[in-house]
Amino acid sequence: MAKKLIGDPIDRIDGKQKVTGSARYSADFKQPGMVHGVLVMSTTANGQIQKIDTANTLKLPGVLGVMSHENAPKLAGLDKNKTTEVATDRVLQVFQDNQVHYNNQPIAMVLADTFERAVEGASLVRVTYDAQPPKPELPGPHRRTGGTAANIDKAETPERLPRIDDQVDTTRGDLKKGMSAAKVRVENTYRTPTQTHNALEPHALVSFWEGDKLTIYNATQGVSANQKRVAEIFGIPKENVRVITQYLGGGFGSKGTTFSQSILGPMAARFIGKPVKLVLMREHMFGMVGSRSATVQQLTLGAATDGQFTAITHHSLTQTGDFDDFAEPASTITRMLYACPNLETTHKFIRANIGPTSPMRAPGEAPGVFALECGLDELAYQLQMDPLELRLKNYAETDPHKKLPFTSKSLRECYKQGAERFGWTKRTPQPRSMRDGNYLIGMGMATTVYPVNRGESSAMIRLNVDGTVKLETATQDLGTGTFTIMTQIAADIFGISPDLVTLGAGDTKYPEATNSGGSRTTVTTGSAVTQAAQAVLKKAKKMAYNDKKSPLYAVAEAEIVAEKGRLQVKSDPRKGETFSSLLKRNGGKPLEETMESKAGDEKEKYSMNAFGSVFAEVRVDEVLGEVRITRLLGAIAAGRIINEKTARSQILGGLVWGASMALHEHTVMDPRTNRIMNPNLAEYHVPVNADIQGIDGFFIEEKDEIANPAGVKGIGEIGVVGTVSAIANAIYHATGKRHYDLPITVDKVMV
Are 197 and 252 contacting, i.e. CB atoms less than 8 angstroms apart? yes
Nearest residue to ligand MOS by CB is 253
CB-CB contact of 300 with 312 (8 Å)? yes
Omega within 30 of 0 (cis) for the link into 743: yes
Please state the closest distance from residue 252 (CB atom) to ligand MOS, in A: 6
- Smallest separation (angstroms) from ligand MOS to the CB of 221: 6
How far, CA to CA in Å, does 65 sit from each of 56, 70, 269? 12, 12, 11
361 or 619: CB nearest ligand MOS: 361
DSSP string, 376-400: HHHHHHHHT--HHHHHHHTB-SEET
The least CB distance from residue 453 to ligand MOS, in Å, is 8
Closer to ligand MOS at the Cβ: 363 or 368?
Answer: 363
Question: How many residues does the structure list for the chain?
Answer: 751
Q: Does 194 bind ligand MOS (CB under 6 A)?
A: no
Site string for ligand MOS, 201-230 (x = CB under 6 A): --------------------x---------
Residue 658 is a binding residue for ligand MOS (CB under 6 A) = no
Q: Which of 202, 363, 576, 711 binds ligand MOS (CB under 6 A)?
A: 363
Number of H helices, E strands in the chain: 18, 31
Encode 224-257: b = buried (16+ Cβ within 10 Å), e = exposed.
Answer: bbbbbbbbbbbebeeebbbbbbbbbbbbbbbbbb
Which CB atom, from 340 or from 360, has the smaller least distance to ligand MOS?
360
Among 10, 125, 354, 360, binds ligand MOS (CB under 6 A): 360
Task: Given the residues 373, 378, 665, 717, select the one marked as catalytic.
Answer: 717
CB of 716 to ligand MOS, least distance (A): 7
Q: Spell out a b/e string for 123-143, using b for 16 or more CB atoms within 10 Å of the CB, else e.
A: ebbebebebeebbbbbbbbee
Q: Are 219 and 246 in contact (CB under 8 A)?
A: no
User: CA 202, CA 115: separation in Å to the nearest integer?
Assistant: 15
Of 253 and 722, CB closest to ligand MOS: 253
For 47: left if phi > 0, alpha if psi spans -120 to 50, otherwise beta; the answer is: left
364 binds ligand MOS (CB under 6 A): no
Q: Least distance (Å) from ligand MOS to the CB of residue 479?
A: 12
Would you call 717 a catalytic residue per the annotation?
yes
The stretch among 14-22, 114-122, 201-209, 355-363 that binds ligand MOS (CB under 6 A) is: 355-363
130: three-class secondary structure by DSSP: strand
**Closer to ligand MOS at the Cβ: 467 or 517?**
517
The yes or no reply on residue 518 touching ligand MOS (CB under 6 A) is: yes
**Minimum CB distance to ligand MOS, residue 452 (Å):** 13
- Is the Cβ of residue 10 or residue 647 nearer to ligand MOS in the bound state? 647
Q: Which stretch binds ligand MOS (CB under 6 A): 91-99, 251-259, 457-465, 551-559?
A: 251-259
Q: Is 521 helix (H, G, I), strand (E, B) or coil?
A: helix
Written as one letter, the residue type at 351 is: R
Rg (CA), the chain: 27
**Residues touching ligand MOS, count (CB under 6 A):** 11
8 A C-beta contact, residue 465 and residue 583: yes
Residue 253 makes contact with ligand MOS by CB under 6 A: yes
Region binding ligand MOS by CB under 6 A among candidate stretches 112-120, 252-260, 380-388, 631-639: 252-260
Beta carbon nearer to ligand MOS, 275 or 364: 364
| Footprint on residues 256-285 left by ligand MOS (CB under 6 A) | 256
Distance CA 713, CA 411 (A): 14
Could you list the residues that contact ligand MOS (CB under 6 A)?
Answer: 221, 251-253, 256, 359-361, 363, 517-518
Which residues are tagged catalytic? 717
